[in-house]
């Protein structure tokens, strides 16, 4: 029997599998700025889970102006959305997510999204997946430039749904997200991950469940 009284979802990689689209988009920016593609090592050690502006600075050897940071960050996200639109076959929520949203609404369990995505991407997700069937768009937490980190976003989301963090389940997919959820005070973290990573991720503090989708 589930004991949580509220739910917070990460989005990218949790409700929507889109890692490949981000890689493609960063490849475009890298070729534009440096004339070459990103390497696998750069992807895993420098770019994944890092804010756009830091990635832009890395590619420009720390010499990017604020205007360049904003311009290339926006361009990267435009590429990302284009690649998503071009791959209609995979432009859908993770299996079981919609049914789970229905379950939460039926049982009057409050839930929301806390995503590091920018507003333009959130608007794209709302339109593409008709998220307004379950979520009030104005109450989705996203990167509007005012949050210090994902910890603060999770805490704001908990305040928004009116449930103490100790009684909330957070769904995440990344190590940085797991750590942020734990540091925010969550002790019920469910991780969306491939089968081969389940055993490893269960060892992290706060992780109570690992799963490949929402078909449970």
Whether residues 26 and 64 fall in one domain: yes
CATH number for 115: 3.40.50.1000
The number of folded domains in the chain is 2
Whether residues 206 and 183 fall in one domain: yes
Asked whether residue 1 is assigned to any structural domain, the reply reads: no
What pLDDT score was predicted for residue 43? 81
Whether residues 26 and 50 fall in one domain: yes
Whether residues 102 and 74 fall in one domain: no
Which of the listed residues 62, 88, 114 is the one where a domain comes to its end? 88
The pLDDT tens digits along the chain (216 residues) read 578 999 999 999 999 999 899 999 999 999 999 999 998 888 877 787 677 888 899 999 999 999 999 999 999 999 999 999 999 999 999 999 999 999 999 999 999 999 988 899 999 999 999 999 999 999 999 988 788 889 999 999 999 999 999 999 999 998 889 999 999 999 999 999 999 999 999 999 999 999 999 998
What pLDDT score was predicted for residue 170? 98
What pLDDT score was predicted for residue 49? 66
Q: Using CA atoms, how far apart are residues 9 and 1, in angstroms rounded to an integer?
A: 20
Please state whether beta strands 207-211 and 189-192 pair in parallel, antiparallel, or not at all (unpaired).
parallel
Which of the listed residues 88, 105, 128 is the one where a domain comes to its end? 88
What pLDDT score was predicted for residue 115? 93
The DSSP 8-state label assigned to residue 173 in this structure reads -
Which of the listed residues 88, 118, 143 is the one where a domain comes to its end? 88
Bridge partners (DSSP) of residue 7 are 111, 169
What pLDDT score was predicted for residue 46? 79
Asked whether residue 216 is assigned to any structural domain, the reply reads: no
Q: In 130-203, where does DSSP find H-type helix?
A: 150-161, 175-183, 198-201
Asked whether residue 152 is assigned to any structural domain, the reply reads: yes
The boundaries of the domain holding residue 65 are 19-88
Tokens standing for 119? 């507003």
Tokens standing for 101? 């949203």
Asked whether residue 100 is assigned to any structural domain, the reply reads: yes
């Amino acid at each position: 029997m589930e004991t949580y009284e509220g739910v917070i979802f990460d989005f990218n990689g949790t409700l929507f599998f889109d890692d490949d689209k981000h890689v493609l988009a960063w490849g475009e920016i890298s070729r534009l700025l440096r004339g070459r593609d990103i390497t696998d090592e750069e992807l895993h050690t420098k770019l994944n889970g890092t804010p756009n502006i830091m990635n832009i600075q890395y590619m420009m050897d720390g010499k990017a102006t604020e205007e360049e940071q904003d311009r290339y960050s926006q361009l990267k996200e435009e590429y990302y959305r284009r690649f998503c639109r071009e791959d209609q076959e995979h432009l859908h929520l993770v299996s079981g997510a919609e049914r789970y949203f229905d379950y939460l609404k039926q049982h009057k369990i409050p839930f929301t999204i806390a995503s590091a995505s920018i507003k333009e991407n959130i608007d794209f997700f709302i339109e593409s997946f008709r998220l307004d069937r379950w979520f009030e768009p104005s109450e989705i937490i996203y990167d509007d430039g005012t949050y210090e980190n994902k910890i603060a976003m999770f805490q704001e989301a908990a305040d928004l749904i009116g449930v103490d963090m100790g009684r909330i389940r957070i769904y995440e997919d990344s190590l940085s997200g797991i750590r942020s959820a734990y540091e925010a005070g969550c002790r019920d973290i469910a991780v969306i991950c491939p089968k081969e990573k389940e055993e490893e991720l269960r060892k992290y503090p706060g992780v109570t469940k690992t799963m490949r989708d929402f078909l449970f």
